[in-house]
Structure 1
Amino acid sequence: MSTTPEHDARVAKLIFGSVYPHYITKIVKKGRTKEELHQVLTWLTGYDENQLENLIEKKATMEAFFANANINPNAHLIKGVICGYRIEDIETPVTKYARYMDKLVDELAKGRKMDKILRQA
């Protein structure tokens, strides 16, 4: 299923800081840590912890969040379905990157090993 322009616009306008607490809740409930979440986010975006906190404070939209991100060259290895969309079929970069992030958080919450999540093995 392909995304619509309306869906892409909605994702782009989402505030990263409004999604972030949901990520924390999801992974902590499953026995993972905030540090592991930050490791995953850093791997995907290149942002360090201070930059992540700054983007949360600035209420950065997903569009702004990913505008200056240094997306990991192995991010294309993230595949599967998230929120009803096959990641490989998403064409809009911001939507694709947001779904990459969702998929990584899901994998973390499901207990997948970190080297597998970070596409190192």
Structure 2
Amino acid sequence: MPKHRIYTMSVAHVYPLYITKVEKKKRTKSEVDEVIRWLTGYSQEGLEAQLEKQTDFETFFAEAPGLNPSRALIKGVVCGVRVEDIEEPTMREIRYLDKLIDELAKGKAMEKILRE
């Protein structure tokens, strides 16, 4: 079965879309970065380096310094699919990120988004 095209898409291509989505709801780029760092374990410098290298999603998650164990607490529907039911690990990570961005755009408190 061929891989979904999101695997080969660069994170840097989608990143501005995340920013635009949250800024429409009065959230900030720094909050997007915080959510991504929380999920992946990248430092701000590491995140920026991945964006600059045009790293694809598959590599971005494969090279993540430390995927947050609390990410398993992320539940809900993204693109019509329950994230907790996604079996393919990389797709699940991508959808976790999508869900966190959705929660940020919906105005959810950062403490709840980061499952603190």
Q: 1:29: which partner in 2?
A: 24
Distance in 1 separating the partners of 2:10 and 2:30: 21
Q: 1:71: which partner in 2?
A: 67
Q: 1:21 aligns to what SS in structure 2?
A: helix
The residue type paired with residue 70 of structure 2 is N
Task: Please report the TM-score for the alignment, with normalisation by the length of structure 1.
Answer: 0.90
Q: 1:47: which partner in 2?
A: 42
The residue type paired with residue 44 of structure 1 is L
Cα shift at 1:9: 3.0
1:11-30 CA-partner distances (Å, limit 9, x unpaired): 21121010100000011111
Distance in 2 separating the partners of 1:12 and 1:85: 17
- Of 83, 93, 97, 1:87 maps to 83
- Of 102, 105, 108, 1:106 maps to 102
Gaps of 5+ in 2: none
Q: 1:13: which partner in 2?
A: 8
> After the TM superposition, which parts of structure 1 deviate over 2 Å for at least 4 consecutive aligned residues?
none
1:57 aligns with 2:52: yes
